[in-house]
Structure 1
Amino acid sequence: MNHDDTSWSRDRRHSDAEAIAGLLPVPADCDLPDERYLHHKELLMRHIDEDNANAKTAGAPASRPRRPFLRPALLVPVTAFAVAAAVVGGVVATGGDGNRPTAAERHEPGQGRPATVLLDRISTAALKDDAPKVGDDQYLYTRSKIREADVTSGKAVVSPLRDLETWSSQKPGPQKKLGISRSDGETLDINAQLGDTEGTEPGLSRPTYRWLAALPTDPDALLKYLYAKTPKHAGAERDQAVFDEIGSLLGGVMPPDTAGALYRAAALIPGVEKTDEAKDAIGRQGLGIRRDDATFGTRTEWVFDPDGLAFLGSRSYLTEDGAHGERGTLLYSSALIAQAVVDEAGQEPGPRHRVKLRGAETARPS
């Protein structure tokens, strides 16, 4: 083959590549998952990359390129494991086959544990709520206030309190655009999870009202489902991962039967405790349900109104002194302000909407 033939072939391949590229969809504006912790997951992956690089011989390339820091489209609710992993700065191998605990390994209900008693009361209160009507063409609206720690400097630097509003699409089937979020005056699309080329299906990563309503309402069956479906992460304590998964579902518009079952399922997880000193991101005192993650030295708390037992928010913080902060250093906190069902993304709920409020916003931030 002469030089001209080679040049023509190369030009032809380049032209074909451009033509194929033109058939591909335009990249999304915000290629991020909809419902939780990508901010902290990216920190975790950054630390894993650093560990991989340090394990290589001097001058050797890392096993894969370091990921850029990604700004999340939505940070509430947050998975505490991802926060803890980012703070610890590495991954520790732990045992566990990912199955739900056996009866011998867990605390059975009815044994008088304070956490079980409180969660039973919270479940009973949740079951008294009226079930809203949610159409497939509507959006679940949530307004929260959040604070979060950035550990990229090596120390946990806690952000100021800020508003976060989200509108989550209820369309069935896989969707590429899951809604929008608004914070600090900026509105961002909530797009399908990375890797979901056809869109993200309803599920743990996209908990639509219809999907939530289809979950088992028997606590044992629900817990078995959650242990089977909760994503597995190297180094994550399995019981903590499921506790955090339940926590990630709290705070939004939810069928009462599902909410009641989730609280009773949480009571079956080993290590769950009650506390009377919990407070949310705006300082509202309440009754708390918490669990300590011994692997990462963190604690996650859910906060409930002491009178009506409604969910107020959550927080996670260090339980041990470490390189990133002293014991008690805040990692994340949230306060649920309002929730509603609206007709359009970006629509503020008005008088004709069924809006649930969670108290004043003037309490002292935590």
Structure 2
Amino acid sequence: MIRTPWRRREEPLDHAELRRLLPAPGDPELSSDRLRGLEEHLMTEIRNRTPDIAPDIAPDPLAGPPPAGAPAGDRASRPGRRSGRRPVLVGVAAALALAAAGVAALAGGPGGSGGSENPGRVAAPPAGAVPAPVVQVVRGSTAGLAGAVADISGAAARAELPEPGPGQFLYIRSEVSGLVSWEGSDGKNRSYVDKIHPREVWMSPDGAKGWLLEPHGKGTGRDGITLDDPEGGERTLNSPSHAYLKTLPTDPSLLLEKIYDETRGMGNGPDQQAFGTIGDLLREQVVPPKLAAGLYRAAARIPGVVLVDDSVDAAGRHGIAIARTDESDGSRTEWIFDRETFAYLGERTVQTRDAEGIRAGTVRGHTAVTGRAVVDALKQRPAGSAPGGDRAGAPAAPSAGT
């Protein structure tokens, strides 16, 4: 988010006299720490932390303490990097480009208003952005978490999911919307979000070939962009493929130990990074059933994870949520599940306290997974999907465990 270190106040001062007395303002620049923080904020992509509601600390509702690889007492936020999966990085790069444009506007460059009263401030919100919705923050609790996770993981383990064959591609379709912060000509920050729009991803099982189509998003163009990886980069938890996921352990303790170990030093603290990494694995993949069950059980063992009784995905579907608040900025990420089938529906990030110009209750972003399938060719859609990124009919809940 772009912020300035000052705000205009109503005072009975001679502004012309002040301009003669004070030195000319320099170009607003962000420090390296602030730039790193901005990148981290965008890459956690709507995670999206400590709410001003009562603290939500989960002891371990299922079994055993956190793994040996998890730091026990250090929950302090630490600067670091966080690698994201390639499909996610596209949206992040676009957001960074948008932020850079905002900096240029503040400096009086292209896009700035250049007016004498409010030099360099943008007079209108970004194209395609709408005011961010504000909701009542539902209190999370560890009560009922163990039972809900048992139901969710059980449904995941029983799920019958498509398995890609040679030459086939995994297809994931979602409805998505993300945060866009804007400072108006009056110097006040306002929270906007992209209009909810479709996003389609095709990936080969080994991750070597892929395509992203998000015509209403930023930076992908109408025809989409390639996700090919001709060099065959190493697969990790933060850059997985379907084939890589099949090699991971399914035991919750081993999974969590591996996650803490491989993400050490990344993100906003080890616990939040672990939760975010699991969320990334669930969002745009077809996760093997036993692994999905293990990931849910592993997530429930992360300190601070709670159950939220009601959340809503980008398609308007209500469900229960497994959630965690990031201590660094008060944003809470909620994984949403159908109340009856316990299928994974999508994700929502809600601001739990006023921070960084974002008011409590603001929905910073949300997604809804509306289809997972196996297709025979890149850019091919499964039967029943309309061309051009439009979906035929109302959204249906995905299979349990996805």
**Which category describes the TM-score, using the shorter chain as reference length?**
0.5 to 0.7
Whether the 8 Å contact between 1:297 and 1:318 is mirrored in structure 2 is yes
Going by fraction, where is helix more abundant, 1 or 2?
Answer: 1
Shift, 1:203, TM fit: 2.6
Equivalent residue number for residue 394 of structure 2: 360
Shift, 1:138, TM fit: 2.0
Higher relative contact order (CA 8 A, sep 6+): 2
Whether the 8 Å contact between 1:136 and 1:171 is mirrored in structure 2 is no
Equivalent residue number for residue 124 of structure 1: 154
Q: Does 1:292 align with 2:257?
A: no
Q: Distance in 2 between matches of 1:167 and 1:258?
A: 21
Equivalent residue number for residue 101 of structure 2: none
Shift, 1:100, TM fit: 1.9
Q: Which residue identity does 1:191 align to in structure 2?
A: L
Equivalent residue number for residue 132 of structure 2: none
**Where in structure 2 are the equivalents of 1:92-241 lying within 5 Å?**
99-100=69-70, 113-153=143-183, 154-171=189-206, 175=208, 177-184=209-216, 186-191=222-227, 198-230=231-263, 232-233=265-266, 236-241=268-273
Shift, 1:114, TM fit: 1.8
Equivalent residue number for residue 310 of structure 1: 343
For this pair of structures, how many residues does the alignment match? Answer: 269
Equivalent residue number for residue 242 of structure 1: 274
Q: Distance in 2 between matches of 1:81 and 1:339?
A: 22
TM-score (norm 1): 0.64
Whether the 8 Å contact between 2:212 and 2:226 is mirrored in structure 1 is yes
Q: Which residue identity does 2:361 align to in structure 1?
A: G
1:331/1:233 Cα in 2 relative to 1: closer, same or farther (>3 Å)?
A: same
Whether the 8 Å contact between 1:273 and 1:291 is mirrored in structure 2 is yes
Extract structure 1 runs of 4+ deviating beyond 6 A: 58-64
Whether the 8 Å contact between 1:220 and 1:265 is mirrored in structure 2 is yes
1:328/1:278 Cα in 2 relative to 1: closer, same or farther (>3 Å)?
A: same
Q: Does 1:322 align with 2:355?
A: yes
1:134/1:302 Cα in 2 relative to 1: closer, same or farther (>3 Å)?
A: same
Q: Distance in 2 between matches of 1:206 and 1:132?
A: 21
Post-superposition CA distance 1:167-186 (Å, at most 9, x none): 122236xx4x5433333372
Post-superposition CA distance 1:143-172 (Å, at most 9, x none): 111111112544321121111111122236
**Where in structure 2 are the equivalents of 1:27-66 lying within 5 Å?**
none
Whether the 8 Å contact between 1:169 and 1:179 is mirrored in structure 2 is no
Shift, 1:325, TM fit: 2.2
Equivalent residue number for residue 79 of structure 1: 44
Q: Distance in 2 between matches of 1:274 and 1:346?
A: 37
Shift, 1:270, TM fit: 0.7
Q: Distance in 1 between matches of 2:191 and 2:228?
A: 29
Equivalent residue number for residue 52 of structure 1: none
Q: Distance in 2 between matches of 1:349 and 1:294?
A: 41
Q: Distance in 2 between matches of 1:149 and 1:336?
A: 18
Q: Which residue identity does 1:169 align to in structure 2?
A: S
Equivalent residue number for residue 10 of structure 1: none
> Could you say what secondary structure the match of 2:243 adopts?
helix
1:138/1:324 Cα in 2 relative to 1: closer, same or farther (>3 Å)?
A: farther
Equivalent residue number for residue 113 of structure 2: none
Q: Distance in 1 between matches of 2:264 and 2:166?
A: 26
TM-score (norm 2): 0.58
> Could you say what secondary structure the match of 1:295 adopts?
coil
Q: Distance in 1 between matches of 2:28 and 2:367?
A: 42
| Percentage of pairs with the same residue | 34
> Could you say what secondary structure the match of 1:240 adopts?
helix
> Could you say what secondary structure the match of 2:223 adopts?
strand
Q: Distance in 1 between matches of 2:173 and 2:349?
A: 19
